[in-house]
Structure 1
Amino acid sequence: MAEGDRDVDWFFTILAVCHTVIPEYVDVDIDRDDIRYQATSPDERALVMAAKSLGYVFCEREPDSVTICVNGKKHQFKLLHVIEFTSDRKRMSVIVEDENGKIFLMVKGADTVIYERLVEDALFKEETLNHMDEFAKIGLRTLCIAFRRLDRAYYEKWAKRYYQRSIAVANRAELVDEVCEEIEQSLQLVGATAIEDKLQDDVPQTIANMLAAGISVWLLTGDKQETAVNIGFSCQLITSGHIQLVINASDMNRVEEQLNHCITEVTKPTEAISRREFVLIVTGKALEKLLTAKHQKSFFELTQASSSVICCRVSPWQKAEMVRLVRAFTNDITLAIGDGANDVGMIQAAHIGIGIYGVEGRQAACSSDYAIAQFRFLNKLILVHGAWSFNRITKVILYSFYKNICLYVIQFWFGMVSGFSGQIIFDRWSMALYNVAFSAAPPLALGLFERNMSAKNCLRLPVLYKETQRTTMFDKVVNTSYVVYGNGQISSYLVLGNTVYTCAVLTVCLKAGLEHTAWTLFSHFAIWGSMALWFLFLIVYSHLYPTFPIGPEMVAMDTACFRSAVFWLLLIVVPVIALTRDFVWKVLRRTYSLTMREQVMIFEQNGVEPERFLQLFKPHITRGLRLFRHRPFVPVTSTEATTIGQPGDHGYAFSQEEYGRVTQTDIVRAYHSTEAKPTGD
């Protein structure tokens, strides 16, 4: 860097001063080159470290000042005000006084808000905008740096108004924003920064698996349009075969024109278009107009005609509104996943919210239903545990209907032959223990250990997840069939009752065996053990009286049942007859109408390797599994030229909690970096 270059000097000075980063030293005598920076935003920390690497070292923070070291010389700035970042403001500012008594406002933020506040003859406007466009094309996040020299008299008047509004009882946040808006005007542009936001491991593969599983994937981001589009390419949401539909205007008339044009494109009757897939790209300013009552329905129908939707430069409120839009117009289940404070609203608005623990804090994870460490873990959470859970819950619900109807329909038939006298055919203790003991273990085994496919093959064949979305495993037809199939039918009345009860226990336990596809030791124990438990109970219960005053009518009931040839004959005939329909239907279905999942189950049982599955299935099924690993990365530019008067949207990631009880201003003003900190030893 050439000495005396005032613009470059100001650029890095602002990077080293305009932030809420805190420097840490374990020992105040430590080498000042060894500084650990703590920040709420990884981007803020990256910018401070970048300035440090070029000789502008942020070295000390005191309650009322910050100190930087440039080429070995310290410069102290008195910290007058910190105007924090919010998602609406899209910028942050500090007001400082230098060693010469001059007062400056230093600002950094999105170009959409910085360019609107520049002086007419600001330098480097066109060059900076071109540079930001180039940065965005290669997937970098950008922001602008600017400053303003303040007259002391003007500042003192403004400071009084700021203080009065900051202690207001009602509408404090709005009043403070208004007074901050007054001073953040007539800015001088200094330059722009760009930060690489790397994708986590296996993000493209995970998204490709979600798409292959029939899950619609939308990207809602605060980055600018070009950055968002290139992220879409890198994570395979957009391919070279997609047609990009862009709505990026800011005024209502232009937004309506773009919306109508996009609807015309997707509804073209030509065969060439019908074979193409569309990706809808919407900016935050356009989204404000599209989410109004007038355009909501048309906009939503357009999203449904697109294979993916990318919303760029959107606020946390807009992210949440997009989730609510889907929930309002469909019965689909929504899942929102994010890793920053800006994603909390979206996560809480969805049916299922997933937070990722990351460098941007834990706000998202703490506000979610599930918390994971990396995005790629979504693969196993949905495709494995989600599919297993759906299969288990479905079988437990249907089996619970079956086993209860199987028993109590018998009582209904007995009521018809007993003239509905109120007499029950079963012993009262037997009925009480039916769900508690004799048929409790089989559904427990189904709910805990049932697996219709190995985890390895669930991940290798995400297309099989579509079966859970079609709900063919649990619909009105299936539910009714379990009710109909549980129609229990069969010379002391209690001998008859215990004979029928024994048949019911055996039938429902064997029915659980028919539903099992993954047999474990607990499965065997649950099914055969439940049968044995009933026989043991019958023997013990038959000999309790008169030692215990319980069940005198059950005395020697085991002998009466076990000596009856009819009892043993019915134990064989009734379960076989009751389950024959289930068994024959399963055999015919697996012989002539196998689903893809059942084919995979058979291949697993025969030891066929997963690679063989892809060769046996039809090409259109596996098309969604391709990961496009060899496709070259093609940067994409905006579809409309960006002018100086109307700059494009550029992104920046802030992670501070907005309007928190303890603000970043309170934190930095309470910190004194020259004091020794405890070592924790």
Structure 2
Amino acid sequence: MCSLHAPSDKTSDNLSYEAESPDEAALVYAAKAYGFTLLDRTPDSVTVRLPSGEDLVFEVLDTLNFDSNRKRMSILVRHPITKENVLYSKGADYAIMELLDHLSGKQKNIAAGTQHHLNCYAKDGLRTLCFTKKIVSDKAYESWSVNRQSALAAIDNREELVMDTAVQLETGLSLLGATGIEDRLQESVPDTIVALREAGIQVWVLTGDKPETAVNIGYACRLLEEEDLVINMSCKNKLECTSILDCTLEEVRRYSEDPRNVGTTQDISLVIDGRSLTMALSSDLQDRFVDLAKRCRSVLCCRVTPSQKSRVVKVVREKLKVLTLAVGDGANDVNMIQAADIGIGLSGQDGMQAVMASDFAISRFKHLKKLLLVHGHWCYTRLANMIIYFFYKNVAYVNLLFWYQFFCGFSGTAMIDYWLMIFFNLFFTSVPPIMFGIMDKDVSAEMLLGVPELYRTGQGAGEYTFSTFWVSMLDAFYQSLVCFFIPYLASQDSDIDVFTFGTPLNTISLFTILLHLSIEIKAWTVVHWVIMLGSVALYFIVTLAYSAICVTCNPPSNPYWILQSQMADPMFYLICIITTVVALMPRYMFHVLKNSIAPSPLVQARHLDRLDPFTRDEWMKEWRSFRSTSRVKRSRLSTPPSPTLETPADIYPQSVTPSDVMEDEFPLNVMTESYQRPVNT
């Protein structure tokens, strides 16, 4: 193969190879099993050992790398015995078959038989490839090599010129054969997809595989279910695609508008190939395609190119106004990952291109479940609550200065020392909200994984709603009023100075803001206690030291020994306690009533978290059993009116056979549970 690296040990029977694609490694290992062993691969040569023990060294003349337009790759070598220039090519069947030389009767039968075997492989879920060869004369090679070098040296349109030279050589090919490689699913892929669906996430699969392979894998990973109504779109022209979209949309809308179908669900899945997808994404059909796709439970796009993958993601983002997440493991997925709002790369055997282009990287697809349902939920709730808390904290503290302006003629005078005000936000109350935004966990990871529906609480507005924000702002105004006017009324008609009045306000504000955060924290740890108590201790240490040392730090004011005098007066403690309790009482009662009268799913999940692990696990098992056995009414689309075309859209009858399903003359295939998909044995 043209992209393999040299084996690590040329003398051992246990040779190990490194390849850009797992397909290439599988083919080389298969050849080795039949006695044809790859011994060495350099940029200029390939060394192969034959079953007889003889070593052949092929000179590499040029390599035509894979690209998404050609969907094939080739290598041009010079045979060591015949000295012929031989071009070997491999690629997708539809990209190779159309390049075959004019076939005679026997060769045509071989090509038809090979195509039949490819279809069988695809129905069994295997990844298929075709192999060809071509003898290139020395004169043709010399002429082509000049054009190739000119294209490689070009500055403008270099990629197009290089691709043109490859297309120029890859003509008149002779078919050698075809292969089918098993592409095994990683562990827990079906469970992950089911969990994402239950969490309210719509799953689309964009793949370059044949439709038969893609559908088989779709059933294996539970993207498609046995009871699903599968719409298989394979259109030959745009008029046909338009008619199918119109008829299917009309039937789907008629079902949803029928009052007899209230309380029922439509489990519809859409399977569409790359050629039909190109027509469906055109400007005049784009809206209809998106409207149909959003009504489907899952969408499976087959035979799509990297550019089509990114196009689908962009269309979904623009038309549906939703957040998109793309997961890929190879270089063909880079465009899709970069087009999505969030890109996740799988580090596997297909290289690290997807990982390097992504926002997050995972080693197995099953880790996507925890990344989204657990860390995604935690991250959203932490950020939402932390942002609201920062607004609340600043409004509550700044309003103390605002209320004081009514008593100082709006002169801008502050009743708190300027340095203490700076320290208040810089040191005393800065770390607790950061800790809150990093470590808070409203529900345990076990509950979030066991009940994926909890993820739905963060979809849409979620925690950060218009009403939640303004309730927090009103609470901040109320707390600032209480924190200011209770000490003001307690010291009314007295002769205390301005800092003696302002120091209790600063202390009360600190206690109120930190205790408000304590009410919002859902999971207490040692770190929470250390930071909260440390912030209070730091406030008193810094304020006492500042009041004892700094006499003329901010002339003409003099904060000397203010806090020390306050702490010697029992009234100071009484005012701090009463004011803090009155300020926080509405917030505390609001949480008590809301969690008692109308508890949210998250509150109920927190109650279950307090149970012992055995009881909690038993409850989740019982809940899963109830969910799996509960019957939901499912619908079947009636036969839509056939479009006025040479090839009508059709609904398959009960007597359908698997061979009929894949025939080209059926552009719209709707497969019910009567269609028995192939099963690997």
TM range (shorter): 0.7 to 0.9
Alignment of 1:43-192 (within 5 A): 43-61=23-41, 64-72=44-52, 73-98=54-79, 99-118=81-100, 119-121=102-104, 122-123=107-108, 124-192=110-178
Could you tell me which of 3, 16, 19 is aligned with 2:2?
19
Counterpart contact for 2:547–2:561, Cα < 8 Å: yes
Alignment: residue pair count: 615
- Alpha-carbon distance in structure 1 between the residues aligned to 2:624 and 2:60: 67
User: Which secondary structure state, in structure 1, belongs to the residue aligned with residue 17 of structure 2?
Assistant: strand
| Structure 1 counterpart of 2:425, from 417, 435, 458 | 435
What SS is found at the alignment partner of 1:68? strand
Give the structure 2 partner of residue 209 of structure 1: 195
Distance, in Å, in 2 between the alignment partners of 1:475 and 1:69 is: 69
What's the CA shift string for 1:146-186, capped at 9, x where partnerless?
A: 22334444444333333333333322221232232233222
Counterpart Cα distance in 1 of 2:548 and 2:202: 63
Q: Deviations over 1:391-410 (max 9, x none)?
A: 22122111111121111111
Q: Which has the higher contact order (CA 8 A, sep 6+)?
A: 1
Once the 2 structures are TM-superposed, how far is the Cα of residue 189 of structure 1 from its aligned partner? 2.1
Matched, 1:611 2:618: yes
For 1:530 and 1:280, the matched residues in 2 are separated by 57
Q: CA deviation at 1:562?
A: 3.2
The counterpart of 2:318, out of the listed 325, 328, 346, is 328
1:641 corresponds to 2:623: no
Distance 1:617 1:249, change over 3 A: closer
**Within 1, Cα distance between the matches of 2:581 and 2:246?**
64
How far apart, in 2, do the equivalents of 1:35 and 1:459 lie?
Answer: 42
Counterpart residue number, 1:659: none
Letter in 1 for 2:616: E
1:559, CA displacement in angstroms?
4.4
Aligned-partner Cα distance in 1 for 2:603–2:261: 36
Secondary structure of the residue aligned to 1:268 is helix
The reply to whether residue 41 of structure 1 matches residue 21 of structure 2 is: yes
Tell me, yes or no, if structure 1 residue 360 matches structure 2 residue 347.
Answer: no
Percent of paired sites with the same residue: 33
Cα pair distance change 1:637/1:346, threshold 3 Å: farther
Check whether the contact 1:80–1:96 (CA below 8 A) recurs between aligned residues.
yes
Equivalent AA in structure 1 for residue 435 of structure 2: A
| TM-aligned CA deviation for residue 258 of structure 1 | 2.7
| Cα distance in structure 2, aligned partners of 1:394 and 1:370 | 21
- 1:428 deviates by 0.9
Q: In structure 1, how many angstroms separate the alpha carbons of the residues matched to 2:463 and 2:659?
A: 46
Q: Indicate the residue corresponding to 2:435 in structure 1.
A: 445
Looking at structure 2, the residues matched to 258 and 187 of structure 1 have their Cα atoms a distance apart, in angstroms, of: 37
Corresponding residue for residue 668 of structure 1? none
Q: Give the distance between the partners of 2:529 and 2:436, measured in 1 at CA.
A: 11
Q: Is the 8 A contact 1:352 1:369 kept in 2?
A: yes
Could you list the per-position Cα deviations for residues 591-639 of structure 1 after superposition, in whole angstroms to 9, with x for gaps in the alignment? 11011111110121233413314646995699799xxxxxxxxx97784
Task: Look up the match of 2:572.
Answer: 567
CA drift of 1:215 comes to 1.0
In 2, Cα distance between equivalents of 1:166 and 1:559: 82
- 8 Å Cα contact 1:545-1:552 kept in structure 2: no
Point out where structure 1 has 5 or more consecutive residues left out of the alignment. 1-17, 626-634, 644-681
Would you say the 8 A contact 2:36–2:51 is kept in 1?
yes
Give the drift of 1:551.
8.3
Deviations 1:234-283 (A, max 9, x none): 11111012111222224322222332233234223255695221111121
The equivalent of 1:418 in structure 2 is 408
Q: Is the 8 A contact 2:31 2:37 kept in 1?
A: yes
Matches of 1:120 and 1:341 in 2, distance apart? 35
State the distance in 1 between where 2:140 and 2:561 align: 103
Tell me what 1:456 maps to. Answer: 446
Query: Deviations 1:285-304 (Å, cap 9, x if unpaired)?
Result: 22222222222222122221
Whole-angstrom distance in 1 between the partners of 2:74 and 2:466: 60
Counterparts of 2:155 and 2:425, CA distance in 1? 60
The verdict on how the C-alpha distance between 1:540 and 1:131 changes in structure 2, with shifts beyond 3 A counting, is: same
**Partner residue, 1:556:** 561
CA distance in 2, matches of 1:146, 1:577: 84
Distance verdict in 2 for CA 1:551–1:562, change over 3 Å: farther
C-alpha displacement at 1:194, in angstroms? 0.5
* Range that drifts further, 188-197 or 546-555: 546-555
Residue 585 of structure 2 corresponds to which residue in structure 1?
580
- In structure 1, the partner of 2:209 is 223
Q: Which moved more, 1:59-68 or 1:320-329?
A: 59-68
Once residues 545 and 289 of structure 2 are traced to their aligned partners in structure 1, the CA distance between those partners, rounded to angstroms, is: 70
Residue aligning to 2:270: 280
Gaps of 5+ in 2: 486-493, 633-656, 666-681
- Alignment root-mean-square deviation, CA: 2.7
Residue 342 (structure 1) shift: 1.0
| Post-superposition CA distance 1:520-554 (Å, at most 9, x none) | 12222233332333333333332224597888521
| Preserved CA contact (<8 Å) 2:9 2:15 | no
| Structure 2 residue 554 is matched with structure 1 residue 542 | no
| Inter-partner Cα distance in structure 1 for 2:77 and 2:423 | 77
Aligned with 1:294: secondary structure? coil
Residue 55 of structure 1 deviates from its aligned partner by: 2.3
Q: Which AA in structure 2 matches 1:534? A: Y
- Quick one: which amino acid aligns to residue 244 of structure 1? V
Report the counterpart of residue 504 of structure 2 in structure 1.
499
2:66 aligned counterpart, secondary structure: coil
Could you tell me how far apart the structure 1 residues matched to 2:210 and 2:316 are? Answer: 23
Contact persistence 2:330–2:351 (CA under 8 A): yes
Q: In the alignment, does 2:299 pair up with 1:316?
A: no
Residue 366 of structure 2: SS of its match in structure 1?
helix
Tell me the distance in 2 between the aligned counterparts of 1:590 and 1:617.
25
The alignment status of 1:300 with 2:290, answered yes or no, reads yes
Aligned-partner Cα distance in 2 for 1:622–1:438: 54
In structure 1, C-alpha distance between the alignment counterparts of 2:464 and 2:629, rounded to whole Å: 26
1:563, distance to aligned residue in structure 2 (A) = 4.8
Residues 37 and 45, structure 1, Cα contact 8 Å, conserved in 2: yes
Aligned to 2:337: 347
> Which whole-Å deviations, capped at 9, do the CAs of 1:208-246 have from their partners, x for residues lacking one?
111111111111111111111111111111101211122
Q: Tell me if the contact between 2:392 and 2:472 (Cα under 8 Å) persists in the aligned partners.
A: yes
CA distance in 2, matches of 1:58, 1:322: 40
Shift of 1:479: 0.7
User: Structure 2 vs 1, CA of residues 252 and 600 (structure 1 numbering), >3 Å: closer, same or farther?
Assistant: same
Is 1:524–2:547 an aligned residue pair?
no
Name the structure 2 match of 1:389. 379
Aligned pair in 2 of structure 1 residues 437, 176: CA closer, same or farther (>3 Å)? closer
SS of the equivalent of 1:177 reads: helix
Task: Summarize the Cα distance change of 1:196–1:549 in structure 2 as closer, same or farther, 3 Å threshold.
Answer: same
TM-score (norm 1): 0.84
Distance 1:556 1:69, change over 3 A: closer
**Alignment check: 8 A CA contact 2:5 2:42 kept:** no
Distance in 2 of aligned mates of 1:622 and 1:469: 27
Give the 3 Å change call, closer, same or farther, for CA 640–352 of structure 1 in structure 2: same
Give 2:676's aligned residue: none
Mapped partners of 2:408, 2:660: distance in 1: 81
